[in-house]
Amino acid sequence: MFLEGLDTLDQKIIRLLIENARASYSEIGEKVGISRVAVKARIQALEQRGIIEEYTTIINPQRISGAVSCYFEIETQPDALAAVSELLKSNETITQVYRVTGKDKLHVHAVCASNEEMEILIREIIDPLPGIVSCSCNIILARIKDVKGLRL
């Protein structure tokens, strides 16, 4: 469904990378029936086309002692949305900023090292944002399901 436009071999390679992005070209080649060199060339082509964007390590903040993960729902005045987005995007504690539909214009995730850092984030970054109509903050207590990127 999502992989229309890719041949069957590229689809198989992508599925294997989703299962294990650390798999070697040789391992993938054995599973799909082509050489290590051919796998490397196909993966590089997928990267150059922007289909594969990155490989990353994901840290679970709930597993780190004291870390606090939260999200904000922020409604701004229309003329302040761009400035607020830029200010949030530039902050290292904020991990994701999404433009969303509905009353709240931004959905913002943050991971703080402690409750104290969370309070500083709210007091020094969130509260002074220009043109804020409303803002709510929710602390994430447990990760039940957290899918990254497109799942096939």
Q: Are residues 69 and 31 in the same domain?
A: no
CATH number of the domain at 19, please.
Answer: 1.10.10.10
Task: Let me know whether 78 and 35 are in one domain.
Answer: no
27: left (phi over 0), alpha (psi -120 to 50) or beta: alpha
Structure tokens that stand for 70 in this block: 């939260």
DSSP conformational letter for 100: -
Provide the mean pLDDT of the chain: 89
CB burial of residue 136 (10 Å; 0-12, 13-18, 19+): exposed
User: Is residue 150 a part of any domain in this protein?
Assistant: no
Q: How confident is the model over 109-140, as pLDDT tens digits?
A: 999 988 999 999 999 999 999 999 999 999 98
Query: 23 and 76 in one domain?
Result: no
Residues facing residue 68 across a β-bridge = 112
Per DSSP, the chain holds a count of helices (H) and strands (E) of 5, 4
pTM beyond 0.75, yes or no: no
The stretch 90-103 carries a mean pLDDT of: 92
